[in-house]
A and B are shown apart, each in its own frame.
Chain A
Amino acid sequence: MSDILIVDDEQVIIDSIIKISKLDGFTAVGVTNVQDALKRLEAEKFLIIISDIMMPDLDGFAFLQKLEEKRIKIPVIMTTGYSTVENAVQSLYQGAIGFIPKPFTIDEMESLIHRSIKFSQISRLEAFSTNKIIYVPCPAKYLRLGYNSWILADDDGSVLIGLTDYLIKTTENITSIELFHNEEELLQGNVCVKFSTDDGLVHSILSPLSGKIIQRNERLIEDPSLIEKDPYFGGWLYRIIPNEFEYETKHLIPCSSDRN
């Protein structure tokens, strides 16, 4: 039994991820195509899956679809050498827990593995205890990019951006946060915030929307724990003027769909 299943057509990637997993005491096995991965999943249980996108025969997106069809609810981290905004957003839209472009550093991969393992554990808890609220779903009018970040469109055309409680619950206590400055541009699917947690990990979170920052939440710099306390209101990150709202929100998930 292993904790992590790695699906990548390049052996060097499998070897690298196995090495990184070992650092934190996780065990990992690798397969080089989607068919083999599906076979392994029938026979064994894994905590998380790390899958490449561009593979011969079935690609990563097809893999995500197969998992959905088979109702296999294991968190998946998507990774690719062809890291485009579209690939990142599409991955998260199709239910991946995270997206990491190649080449990744040990730290980047480590923090994402940690979050995913945690997510896996929370999901199990949730499955056993139906009446206990483990995390707060985002409010109805919000849209989210996977399980990472949310947006709230304001009447004046500006948009608020923040992090979801799903994400916060998968990390340890936030010790410091690194925000972009006003006037800078955010790009959907690219990193919009980095924060460190007391386990020494640095988490990079992808932006749900592109646009120019007109205001950032200065209170977070002094008190990063505000995100944990009130992720959907007081713990917002930025107010931006979106570049292509209509186009980019097509791959965001309405939070109202989470409430049934």
Chain B
Amino acid sequence: MKIYRKIGTKLILVIGITTLIILGIYAYLSITYHSDVMLDEVERHALQLSETVKSSTKYGMLLNQRDHINEIIKTIGSDKQIHAIRIYNKTGEIAYSTDNAEVGILVDKSQKSCSVCHNDNVTLEKISVADRKRVFNTNNNTSRVLGIINPIYNEKSCYTSDCHVHSKESKILGVLDVTFYLDEIDNKIVDNEIRGIIFSILSFIGIAFIIGIFVKRYVDKPVAELVKATEEIGQGNLDYKIAEPSKDELGKLAISFNKMTQGIKDVRMQLFQSEKMASLGQLAAGVAHEINNPLTGVLTYSSFLLKRTKDNPEMQEDLNVIVRETLRSREIVKGLLDFARQSTPKKSLISINEIIERAATVVANQLKISGVVLERKFDENLPKLTADANQIQQVFINLFVNGIDASSKKGGKLIVETKLTSLPPKGIVVIKSAMCDKNHSLLDPDFKIEGHPSIKMKIKSGDSSGIIHLDPVYGKQRHSFGLEIDKSKPISLHCPECEISLIDKTGLCPKCGEPLYKINVANAGHLCGCAKFNDDYQKWEHIDLAGPQKFIEIKVSDNGSGISSEHLSKIFEPFFSTKGQKGTGLGLSVIWGIVDNHNGTITVESELDKGTAFTIRLPINS
């Protein structure tokens, strides 16, 4: 992006210019004030000097000792700072001056030094100190000059003096004019100005620098991250996450952005799943219809041949094979239809070891070709299980094939282990039905937590309200709040559909004494939990009373190539495949669905180059 278009640059410019204007005004006022103070000081000094000259020449005046007066003026005027000292007589003639050449010159009254008093043909006798000064540039010198005129008033001693030069009636006898060079002060003023400007520029640079760093750290970086994330997501990489969002508004934006991405991802996944199912269903329907008609022909005609050839046992045997295989084809097509519809499992009492053995027979040839050994560690005393034998067999065939694919490169080994375990229901049992008192379902299939529909509640706190999603696994706390709630304020929970309160009025949390929420579970009592945020209390009496649940645990492990941790989280997602063109990416997602249909769980652990282990737990009393 062009630098002048960046937010940072704009911010720096705005703040910088504002600072510059404020500093400029301040500097201007400060410099003007200091210049005035210094000028006043010089003026005061000039006035004093003027008075000094006046009084020191007074005696000489009275005695009319011109030489003496000249001497005094010259002596005082020799000071470097003094430009000139002049005494004008009443007629405007320069009577004394530090510059001898001037003596005797008649000055025009319209000149600046005179115009103060001799103005509009009126002659003032008394003028203020401020009016007596004047600042001007000398012709030959660039530095400024300050002039102070000091009128010499007629005094008794003057007109009573022996010389009788002045009459008693005259009020003003002459004017003393002292002029000073202002170069020293002007230098100081310029110095001051330069310092002010340098200070302003340095402040501007300093502020710009600090803002620059701040903007870069707290604005530019997160904004760049967001921009990058939108680009990544725009390109279809929905796995992109903004790492470590800050705690400010941009951080919150990043968190919502991540949530939005997750949402898009989930929706896309569901779309994939339903599209896949729809197309699979259409395909299966087409295939079934097309194949079943010719199969009917084969079945009918071969059965007729069977009836007709009752006296030919050899032929009967062959025809029986045709009939048997046709019937098998019928089951295969039916299975395809069932799979496409993900039909409810047809459960019966089965022995899991037997099913695994059957699955092993199916992959026996593949095991032999790949040189993989299948080791069985069966618990022979396992109770029977209510499950769909075909589906469970499909699960193990799939896991075995995956294991063989992963470990065939080196003397591979597959271990399948069965055992009975019992686990407390907390953290295991999935809540598959949740209702408010008016029997509205609270399950939200659109918001899944770890693959299971979450429990949706409406939360109200003060004036604000929003939706929260509870973890559907009993005792697990991976809730999603999705909104900012003031955790100190009292809250209430409601059914999102009918707004009925979900707070249990009959009891309080035994852990912290806060209210409890209560959710009805069909045919399984109700689930209570603490409605306070940082309390994890949950109780489901119906399940707790049943005690630890018994599970058959089946572990299928291989010593193959393993799965990298980034892939591990996705392997149960539909269409995720590491086999490239070879796999459809459907296998493990179908397995997940089957196990979930049996109210079981499947987990995976894996280490690269060490192997992978899948653990399936199927509840015994489902």
Contact = CB atoms under 8 A, between A and B. Distances in A.
Interface of A: 10, 12-13, 15-16, 19-20, 54, 80-84, 101-106, 181, 183-185, 187, 210, 212, 243
Given A81-B293, A83-B292, A106-B300, 6 more contacts: A81-B296, A82-B292, A83-B334, A83-B337, A106-B299, A187-B343
Contacts of B363: none
Given A12-B293, A16-B301, A103-B295, A183 B386 contact: yes
A80, A84, A101, A103 — most chain B CB neighbours (10 Å): A103
A12 B341 contact: no
A83 B386 CA distance: 26
B145 to A, nearest CB: 110
A185 B293 contact: no
Contacts of B296: 12-13, 16, 81, 102-104
Interface string B318-359: 000000001100100010010001011111110000000000
19 contacts: A12-B296, A16-B300, A81-B289, A81-B292, A81-B293, A82-B292, A83-B288, A83-B337, A103-B292, A103-B293, A103-B296, A103-B330, A104-B296, A105-B327, A106-B300, A106-B304, A184-B348, A185-B346, A185-B347
A13 B298 CA distance: 10
- B interface bracket (residues with beta carbon within 8 Å of A): 20 to 34
B599 to A, nearest CB: 13
Contacts of B293: 10, 12-13, 81, 102-103
A187 B303 CA distance: 28
B292 A20 contact: no
A72 B290 CA distance: 31
Given A16-B297, A103-B298, A106-B303, A181 B348 contact: yes
B294 interface: yes
Nearest to B348: A184
Nearest to A241: B523
Given A82-B285, A83-B334, A183-B386, A210 B344 contact: yes
Contacts of A19: 300-301, 304
B291 interface: yes
Nearest to B304: A19
A103 B296 CA distance: 4
A50 to B, nearest CB: 12
Contact of B349 (A16, A54, A181): A181
B289 to A, nearest CB: 4
A155 B304 CA distance: 50
Interface in B257-315: 285, 288-301, 303-304, 307
Nearest to A106: B303
B332 to A, nearest CB: 12
Contacts of A103: 292-293, 295-296, 298-300, 326, 330
Contacts of B291: 81
A81 B307 CA distance: 25
Contacts of B334: 83, 101
Given A102-B295, A103-B298, A82 B288 contact: yes
Contacts of B299: 103-106
Nearest to A18: B300
Contacts of B345: 185
Contacts of B347: 183-185, 212
B297 A187 contact: no
Closest 3 CB pairs of A and B: A81-B292, A16-B300, A103-B295
Nearest to B323: A105
Interface of A is mostly: loop
Contacts of A243: 344
B289 A187 contact: no
Contact of A102 (B285, B292, B346): B292
Contacts of A54: 289
A105 B337 CA distance: 20
Contacts of A10: 293
A243 B343 CA distance: 13
Contacts of A20: 300
Contacts of B349: 181, 183-184
Interface string B419-442: 000000000000000000000000
B296, B304, B347 — most chain A CB neighbours (10 Å): B296
Contacts of B346: 185, 187
A186 B341 CA distance: 17
A112 to B, nearest CB: 14
Nearest to A54: B289
Contacts of A187: 343-344, 346
B436 to A, nearest CB: 18
Contact of B348 (A81, A84, A185): A185
Nearest to B290: A81
A15 B341 CA distance: 32
B288, B291, B326, B334 — most chain A CB neighbours (10 Å): B288
Contacts of B288: 81-83
Contacts of A84: 337, 341
A212 B345 CA distance: 11
Contacts of A16: 296-297, 300-301
A10 to B, nearest CB: 5
A12 B302 CA distance: 13
A177 B347 CA distance: 21
B383 to A, nearest CB: 12
A19 B303 CA distance: 11
Contact of B303 (A102, A105, A183): A105
A245 to B, nearest CB: 12
Contacts of A105: 299, 303, 327
A80 B345 CA distance: 23
Contacts of B294: 12
Contacts of B337: 82-84
A210 B343 CA distance: 12
Given A81-B293, A106-B300, A183 B330 contact: no
Contacts of B297: 12-13, 15-16
Nearest to B285: A82
A105 B298 CA distance: 10
A187 B334 CA distance: 14
Contacts of B344: 185, 187, 210, 243
A131 to B, nearest CB: 43
A62 to B, nearest CB: 17
A20, A82, A210, A212 — most chain B CB neighbours (10 Å): A82
A187 B341 CA distance: 14
B538 to A, nearest CB: 27
A82 B337 CA distance: 8
Contacts of A12: 293-294, 296-297
Nearest to A9: B293
B396 to A, nearest CB: 21
Contacts of B285: 82
A106 B303 CA distance: 7
Contacts of B290: 81
B279 to A, nearest CB: 16
Contacts of A184: 347-349
A187 B296 CA distance: 24
A16 to B, nearest CB: 4
A105 B347 CA distance: 25
A129 to B, nearest CB: 38
A17 to B, nearest CB: 8
A93 B246 CA distance: 63
Interface in B34-66: none
Interface string B141-154: 00000000000000
Interface in B459-478: none
